[in-house]
Structure 1
Amino acid sequence: MPEISEFFGIHITINYSDHNPPHIHAAYGGYRALIDIQNQVAFKGFLPGKQLKLVLAWCVLHEAELMENWNLVRSGQKPRKISPLVKG
């Protein structure tokens, strides 16, 4: 799975031949979760509270880019990198 972003130790990947709903894979330490891009919710797996909140906030900020990447990988193309979340 190509990594599309990484921030605060959280790795975000997207799979070429994945199932609906449109989603990303988030990993932090030994934790893993599938995150629905359009509804900004974890629907499988687990991330600690703080890391989940960071990923969901990032999804809200980058929803359009995430959906573009979803469409790219569904058509067999390479996804684009997306800017990480940074401390303000």
Structure 2
Amino acid sequence: MAIISMFYGIIISMYYFDNKQHKIPHIHVKYQDEEAVFSIPNGEILEGTMKSSKRKLVVAWIEIHQDELMADWELAINGEEIFKIDPLK
């Protein structure tokens, strides 16, 4: 697992070789005691829960950084080093 960004108490991670369970590009998000898996292509929650206000921030961040996330996804599923992505400001 690698943390790729943090903002407003939200931690965004991507796991290496993580294309088996969900089959689509995704990120893992933690906020306090909540955890969720978000689809990169559309920002939908695939698993878990997230407060509405934090979910909206994550979806906006995904939309802004779509290309970078997809590039990191390709690296991660091949076990290569991934890059940090700017936080939401």
What is the CA distance between 1:39 and its match in structure 2? 1.3
8 Å contact kept, 2:17–2:78: no
Output the aligned Cα RMSD: 0.6
The C-alpha deviation readout for 1:30-67, integer Å capped at 9, x for no partner, is 10000000011111100101000000000000000000
Question: SS of the residue aligned with 2:84?
Answer: coil
TM-score (norm 1): 0.95
Instruction: Map 1:9-88 onto structure 2 (within 5 A).
Output: 9-19=9-19, 20-86=23-89
TM-score (norm 2): 0.94
Question: SS of the residue aligned with 1:26?
Answer: strand
Identity over the aligned pairs, expressed in percent?
A: 40
Unmatched tracts of structure 2, length 5 or more: none
CA distance in 1, matches of 2:85, 2:67: 11
Question: SS of the residue aligned with 1:60?
Answer: helix
8 Å contact kept, 2:29–2:36: yes
Q: Number of matched residues?
A: 86
